[in-house]
Structure 1
Amino acid sequence: MLGTLTLLASTAAGAADEKLLVGRFSAGDLQDWQTKSFMGETHYTFDNKSGQPALFADSRGAASGLYREIRVDLSRTPWLNWSWRVDRALNGLDERTKDGDDYPARVYVVVSGGTAFWKTRSLVYVWSSSHPAGATWNNAFTGNARVMALRSGTKDAGRWVSEKRDVRADFRRLFGDDIGAIDAVALMTDTDNSGQSATAWYGDIYFTAR
């Protein structure tokens, strides 16, 4: 009996410590990541000038992102973790409009609609330039994307900040659906609509059980 209890406790602890690594940017690894271009090219490189090894994004009137197709079981690992840093916010934008749909940094989680591509939905965590942290809104270009501001303006600019989000809970709140898995993770620094410039750094991205 004691051995069984020990095994159960060990299994429970292992489940609680479960970690699914999506982006190993601190190791300079972009394996399995692909590029999606919208307007011009945001340049993504690796550097440690920000104080730690990271993925560096430099956008100058351009918009392209990186994405990785990966199935994540949210019943096992619902918590999305990452760190990021921006040096400054963008100026004079209304991010709820198409002309203002630019962000110094954003991280997406995507639920695929499969062959029914019009059913694909995205939850987008952003570093907002004009809306307060905690604000949410519909993406200006599609009704299938919801935006959530986690950081705002210059309050945390110039330093690394860490994020931890319960994706399943956030998706339920913004879409009204209880999803069991996501199908891709993406990131983008973009300035194509405003014609401005932005730089950002992204740390490792991973899912955890808690």
Structure 2
Amino acid sequence: MAASPWLLGNAQADSPTLPAFSTLTSLDKSAGWEPLEFPKIEQHSRYELVTENGTQVVRAQTDGGASGLIARLKVEPSESLVLRWRWKVSNVFERGDARKKSGDDYPARIYVAFEFQPDKAGFFERAKRKAVEVVFGETLPGNALNYIWANTVPEGEIVPNPYTDQTMMVAVNSGPERVGEWVTVERDIMADYREAFGGAPPPVVGIAIMSDSDNTGESATAWYGDITLAP
């Protein structure tokens, strides 16, 4: 799917806490997670709370569509900031390829959105964002990291999204070898930002989960455990 930025709304001020899936009673804005949907994509992925081995997690099912769940927050940058999560997928996409628009789908991914830096943007980019604010009363994020369960991109590689160089794709798992098993991932998002974008990171303003298949038309199920963010 196109990695178009989403509308941020009002983020919580300086709060690094992400609502734990294991303790939620619902998946909605009141619980701290809300739908992340994209223009022109009418078919959405399905997210629900389920119990796996005695622990509540989120199960995501995608079948030719795309959408996600986002937690809006604001965390000031630091020397090191570790994002930790665990996930599991039913399969990878045969036609998936992070380097091509036609293959920009993943059974599981985690978005980390950073605050827009107007001093580093051109006139037309600033004007476009101002128009969005006027029309919607919302704010667009800036750069983003996408942690993906890739198909062909080797684990550990960082590649630009085929739709926009404001989003960098980080392959933290790749291929079918660990399909069907829980995998725990830890990433220093400050270090990843510096490597991906070549500069100091701005504040983090949103973290989202997403399983999507609108480009490949394939199907997959993913499970997401609790996500934590800590220095």
TM normalised by structure 1 equals 0.84
Q: Which moved more, 1:24-33 or 1:161-170?
A: 24-33
Structure 2 gaps, min length 5: 1-14, 119-125, 130-139
Task: Tell me the residue number matched to 1:11.
Answer: none
Kindly provide the amino acid, as one letter, of the partner of residue 100 in structure 2.
T
Task: Tell me the residue number matched to 2:112.
Answer: 109
Aligned match for 2:84, one of 81, 86, 92: 81
C-alpha distance in structure 1 between counterparts of 2:86 and 2:141, whole Å: 29
Matched, 1:91 2:87: no
Kindly provide the amino acid, as one letter, of the partner of residue 139 in structure 1.
N
More strand by share: 1
* CA distance 1:134–1:76, shift in 2 (3 Å): closer
Structure 1 gaps, min length 5: 1-18
* TM-align CA RMSD: 2.1
Question: What SS is found at the alignment partner of 1:21?
Answer: coil
Residue identity (%): 35
Q: Output one character per residue of 1:136-191: Cα deviation in whole Å (capped at 9) or x when no partner.
A: 11111111000000001111111111111111100000001112521111110000
Structure number with greater Rg is 1
Aligned match for 1:197, one of 219, 223, 227: 219
Task: Tell me the residue number matched to 1:147.
Answer: 169
The Cα shift of 1:21 comes to 3.0
CA contact (8 A) 1:21 1:205 kept: no
Task: Tell me the residue number matched to 1:22.
Answer: 18
The Cα shift of 1:114 comes to 7.1
Count of equivalent residues:
191
CA contact (8 A) 1:20 1:77 kept: no
Q: Output one character per residue of 1:67-110: Cα deviation in whole Å (capped at 9) or x when no partner.
A: 11101133286111111111211113322111100000000111
Question: What SS is found at the alignment partner of 2:193?
Answer: helix
Task: Tell me the residue number matched to 2:159.
Answer: 137
Superposition map of 1:114-125 within 5 A: 116=126, 117=129, 120-125=142-147
C-alpha distance in structure 1 between counterparts of 2:198 and 2:45, whole Å: 33
C-alpha distance in structure 2 between counterparts of 1:180 and 1:94, whole Å: 29
C-alpha distance in structure 1 between counterparts of 2:53 and 2:210, whole Å: 18
C-alpha distance in structure 2 between counterparts of 1:100 and 1:37, whole Å: 19
Task: Tell me the residue number matched to 2:35.
Answer: 35
Kindly provide the amino acid, as one letter, of the partner of residue 149 in structure 1.
A
Task: Tell me the residue number matched to 1:185.
Answer: 207
* CA distance 1:76–1:131, shift in 2 (3 Å): closer
Task: Tell me the residue number matched to 1:127.
Answer: 149
